[in-house]
Amino acid sequence: MHITVINKNIKIMKHYDVVIVGAGPAGLRCAELIKETSLSVLLLEKNPVIGPKVCAGGITKKSLELMDIPDQLIEYEIKASMIRSPKYFHEGELPEPAVFMIDRQQFGQWQATKLKNSNIEIKTGSLVTDIQNNKLTVNRQEEFSFKYLVGADGANSIVRRYLKLPVKRKLVTLQYKIPGLYPERVELILNSGFFQSGYAWVFPHKDYFSVGCGVDPGFFPVQKLKKGFEIWLKQNNFDLSKAKYESFPISYDCRGFAFGNIFLAGEAAGLASGLTGEGIYQALVSGEEIARMIMDKDYVSIPMKKIIKYNKIQLRILQLFRIAGPFRDMLYNLLIKLFRSWQFNKKIIKGYS
Ligand SMILES: Cc1cc2nc3c(=O)[nH]c(=O)nc-3n(C[C@H](O)[C@H](O)[C@H](O)COP(=O)(O)OP(=O)(O)OC[C@H]3O[C@@H](n4cnc5c(N)ncnc54)[C@H](O)[C@@H]3O)c2cc1C
């Protein structure tokens, strides 16, 4: 006679074809593309709710074209801008709408609804705490094994750390969300003394506006940025008494996105622009393209090549601002003069759209 002893402490590890870490734009888009297949997919999100993210919430036309984003998600279609340098400013209509304002929580929720009634299992409140040889641990207790792993877990990615890829290029950002209305325009402030080769912005939303700034701390100390930002906010009479302060890094240090059976998408891959901080579009495209790579081993991604090329151009412009040193403000003043030209404006918007 055989006696079987069952040890109640041994948990059975569940296996998935694909585990996606992070339900931001990249992870949700990746899941959306895979949902049509027979692959088993687990999407893990550390937050209890999908969507909220420190962000100014501006997207460009290319994101709208990629995803068919419903009109009701667009808070404002920005048709005007104000750009300031220490000496000059330019205020005016844009040749065409350049930025579309979204609320990140609503956007994330909309992306998540596309996964309803599919083979994608979403687990919120699930922080990935450890990764080892084709398995990972959630909330330090539950383990899952995977065939493919997608790190879509943003600028502080644990998947990227597992791959031992450092993040040397990043922006530190500071942002106040101020309740109230602001004119329907985007404002960009170029001022070397306050923001060095970075910039400050004002982006309007439905019931608040975002006032923020960012720069790479490798080139400008964070303390100096904070102090300069506070002075600039005071000089411009922003009322911060009811404002919500936020800060989060933006990674623009791309060292690849495909590593055998492990992929990095969006900011985990360092795909944001170091010049503007734009990263939602890159997150959506990379999520989508990684899904295609998982579904077809021979797939060669042209959109990823385009994004990497686009980010390289942005980096070159940023490097120009950096090496300009004492002449940086002169360069900014010159830029404002150029922005007064309708043709120049059109070219810039085309470049970003
Ligand atoms: C102040 C600021 C302003 C910005 N403004 C703009 C803008 O106007 N336009 C624009 O295009 N971009 C902007 N960005 C950049 C943009 O927010 C990001 O590039 C974009 O959100 C990246 O998407 P993602 O899906 O790669 O990562 P994220 O949006 O960061 O999503 C990652 C997800 O992974 C989850 N996660 C992280 N770690 C774990 C873990 N260990 N386990 C489980 N889940 C985890 C997070 O909770 C999060 O939900 C801004 C960024 C900042 C900081």
Q: What does the pLDDT look like over 83-121, one tens digit per residue?
A: 999 999 999 998 889 899 999 999 999 999 999 999 999
The full set of domains in the chain, from first to last, is 14-352 (3.50.50.60)
Largest CA distance in the chain: 92
* Residue ID of nearest Cα to ligand 1 atom 50: 55
Element at 210 (helix H, strand E): strand 208-215
For residue 212, the ligand 1 atom closest to its alpha carbon is 1
Mean of pLDDT values over 181-198: 96
Distance in Å, CA 2 to ligand 1 centroid: 55
pLDDT of residue 307 exceeding 70: yes
Distance in Å, CA 153 to ligand 1 centroid: 8
For residue 28, the ligand 1 atom closest to its alpha carbon is 25
Place of tokens 């010159």: 334
Distance in Å, CA 76 to ligand 1 centroid: 21
Distance in Å, CA 267 to ligand 1 centroid: 7
Distance in Å, CA 152 to ligand 1 centroid: 9
For residue 249, the ligand 1 atom closest to its alpha carbon is 53
Distance in Å, CA 301 to ligand 1 centroid: 23
Ligand 1 pocket (Cβ < 6 Å) reads 21-27, 44-47, 53-59, 126-128, 152-154, 158, 173, 175, 212, 248, 250, 266-268, 272, 277-281, 283
From 267, 290, 307, mutation site for ligand 1 pocket: most ligand atoms within 8 A of C-beta: 267
Strand 142-151 vs strand 128-132: parallel, antiparallel, or unpaired?
A: unpaired
What is residue 8's predicted lDDT score, i.e. its pLDDT? 54
What is residue 32's predicted lDDT score, i.e. its pLDDT? 98
* Residue ID of nearest Cα to ligand 1 atom 27: 154
Please tell me whether residue 22 adopts helix, strand or coil conformation.
coil
**pLDDT per position as a tens digit, 205-259:** 999 999 999 999 999 999 999 999 999 999 999 999 999 999 999 999 999 999 9
For residue 286, the ligand 1 atom closest to its alpha carbon is 26
Mean of pLDDT values over 306-311: 96
Cα–Cα distance for residue pair 305/319, rounded to 1 Å: 21
Distance in Å, CA 331 to ligand 1 centroid: 31
* Residue ID of nearest Cα to ligand 1 atom 4: 55
pTM, rounded to two decimals: 0.95
**pLDDT per position as a tens digit, 325-342:** 999 999 999 999 998 888
307, 256 Cβ separation under 8 angstroms:
no
Q: Which positions ≥6 away from 49 have C-beta within 8 Å?
A: 105, 124
For residue 157, the ligand 1 atom closest to its alpha carbon is 38
Using CA atoms, how far residue 292 sits from 31, 101, 254, in Å, is 11, 28, 20
Mean pLDDT of the residues in the chain:
95
The DSSP string of 245-258 is EEEEEEE-----SE
For residue 246, the ligand 1 atom closest to its alpha carbon is 1
* Residue ID of nearest Cα to ligand 1 atom 3: 55
Mean of pLDDT values over 286-307: 97
* Residue ID of nearest Cα to ligand 1 atom 52: 55
Distance in Å, CA 103 to ligand 1 centroid: 13
Structure confidence at residue 6 as a pLDDT band (50, 70, 90): very low
Q: Is 332 exposed, middle or buried (0-12, 13-18, 19+ CB in 10 A)?
A: buried
